[in-house]
């Protein structure tokens, strides 16, 4: 067992494990740690606890120190620099005529690197832009392309529920969301009703999927025959209420009339072929005590459409890719040539088709 604490660097970001060392830390305290990206300041989001060594995915690093007043002054100065860098980068983008949208700028704590996050419809050749930015800031420049979900996570906003977006406040990972989840919850399939601020399906559909699967598994299907033990009668299911767990049943009376009554699902009997309800899996609730303080920056581990190009690795497509495109065009022309040869054989059997040799005939002796 190893003692660790959880540190979160940005609102809505992932929690990383660090060795507390000799420091006594509690949630909400700011610490300075060494990461793969260099020195960073993060907030303790998980108190000290013991975990198994198998849960660690990388070598455990120790906390360098508790953040001081000077560290907060550096962070404040970096925030001011980010505003100026954002303005300069946007002007450079317009000057080069690049079809890209600048989303956010992040200064490294030590000031030795600047990250520019942007969105675009396709791949962008920004070598000249990187050179201009490097000549202005005199430091390492990194441009990172992100998706629309990550853009919304960084900028934040208010959802249709009236609350801060889940991805901006506490959601650290993006789970895949499908249209099947909306059907399971009997929602309207209108894209404007089930899409979030980012234009994709709402993440809350995934959060409520397990609950609706369990509730729907306890209810009968419309048109199914059920028995009411309390009244000793049988009837046909007319409709169900998923959240209230009630069923409306059509029952035939002694006089031949049909009336509708509503019963709780626990008061009904089903056939012997009835499947058991979906088992409930209990999972720990997310820690919501740490509210977002500042902007939420997208996590590298949840990149949906990431293209990382630095000043050293920026390049345009080489000749090899151009040759591959020519080969692909050649393959597209082949079916047409094959059909053309077949048609030529039918119309002129004696005529040679494209790229085909007729067998040589032996010459007759005179």
Q: Is the distance from CB of 306 to CB of 148 less than 8 angstroms?
A: no
Backbone φ and ψ for 43, nearest 5 degrees, come out as -115, 135
128 CB contacts (<8 Å, ≥6 apart)?
96
* Per-residue pLDDT tens over the stretch 197-237: 888 899 888 888 888 988 988 888 888 888 888 878 888 89
pLDDT of residue 293: 39
Predicted local confidence at residue 318, as pLDDT = 39
CB burial of 44-69 (b: ≥16 within 10 Å; e: otherwise) equals bbbebeeeeeeeeeeeeeebbeebee
Beta-sheet pairing, 140-145 with 307-310? antiparallel
User: What DSSP state is assigned to residue 111?
Assistant: S
Indicate the pLDDT class of residue 281, thresholds 50, 70 and 90: low
Exposure letters 220-243 (e unless 16+ CB within 10 A, then b): beeebebebeeeeeebbbeebeee
Reduced to 3 states (helix: H, G, I; strand: E, B; else coil), residue 278 is coil
Per residue in 71-100, pLDDT (tens digit) is 999 999 999 999 999 999 999 999 988 989
End-to-end CA distance of the chain: 101
CATH numeric code, 74-150+304-310: 3.30.300
97 Rama class: left (phi>0) / alpha (psi -120 to 50) / beta: left
pLDDT at position 341, please?
55
Q: What is the spatial distance between Cα 353 and Cα 178, in angstroms, rounded to a whole number?
A: 51
**CATH number of the domain at 221-267, please?**
2.30.30
Q: Where are the domains of the chain?
A: 2-67, 74-150+304-310, 172-219+272-283, 221-267
Q: How far apart are CA 107 and CA 145, in angstroms?
A: 16
Would you put residue 68 in left (φ > 0), alpha (ψ -120 to 50) or beta?
A: beta
pTM, entire model:
0.62
Task: Give 354's DSSP letter.
Answer: T
What confidence tens digit (pLDDT) does each residue in 296-331 have? Answer: 333 333 333 333 434 333 433 333 433 444 444 444
């Amino acid at each position: 067992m190893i003692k660790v604490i959880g540190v979160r660097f940005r609102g809505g970001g992932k929690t990383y494990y660090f060795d507390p060392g000799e420091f006594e830390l509690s949630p909400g305290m700011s610490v300075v740690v060494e990461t793969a990206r260099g020195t960073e300041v993060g907030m303790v989001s998980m108190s000290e606890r013991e975990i198994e060594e198998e849960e660690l995915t990388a070598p455990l690093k120790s906390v360098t120190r508790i953040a001081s007043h000077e560290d907060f002054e550096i962070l404040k100065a970096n925030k001011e620099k980010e505003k100026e860098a954002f303005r300069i980068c946007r002007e450079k983008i317009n000057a080069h005529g690049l079809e890209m949208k600048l989303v956010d700028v992040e200064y490294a704590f030590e000031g030795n690197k600047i990250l520019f996050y942007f969105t675009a419809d396709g791949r962008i050749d920004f070598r000249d832009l990187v050179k201009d930015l490097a000549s202005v800031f005199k430091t390492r420049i990194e441009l990172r392309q992100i998706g629309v979900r990550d853009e919304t996570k960084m900028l934040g906003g208010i959802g249709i529920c009236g609350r801060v977006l889940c991805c901006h406040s506490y959601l650290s990972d993006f789970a895949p969301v499908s249209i099947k989840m909306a059907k399971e919850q009997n929602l309207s399939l209108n894209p404007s009703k089930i899409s979030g601020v980012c234009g994709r399906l709402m993440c809350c559909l995934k959060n409520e999927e397990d609950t609706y699967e369990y509730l729907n598994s306890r209810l009968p299907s419309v048109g199914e025959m059920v028995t009411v033990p309390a009244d000793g009668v049988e009837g046909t299911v007319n409709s169900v209420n998923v959240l209230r767990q009630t069923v409306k049943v059509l029952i035939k009376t002694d006089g031949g009339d049909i009336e509708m009554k509503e019963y709780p699902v626990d008061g009904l009997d089903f056939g012997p072929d009835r499947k058991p309800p979906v088992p409930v899996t209990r999972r720990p609730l997310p820690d919501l005590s740490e509210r977002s303080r500042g902007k939420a920056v997208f996590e590298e581990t949840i990149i949906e459409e990431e293209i990382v190009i630095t000043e050293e690795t920026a390049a345009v497509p080489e000749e090899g890719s151009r040759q591959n495109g020519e080969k692909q065009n050649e393959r597209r022309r082949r079916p047409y040539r094959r059909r053309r040869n077949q048609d030529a054989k039918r119309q002129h059997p004696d005529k040679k088709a494209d790229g085909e040799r007729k067998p040589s005939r032996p010459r007759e002796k005179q």
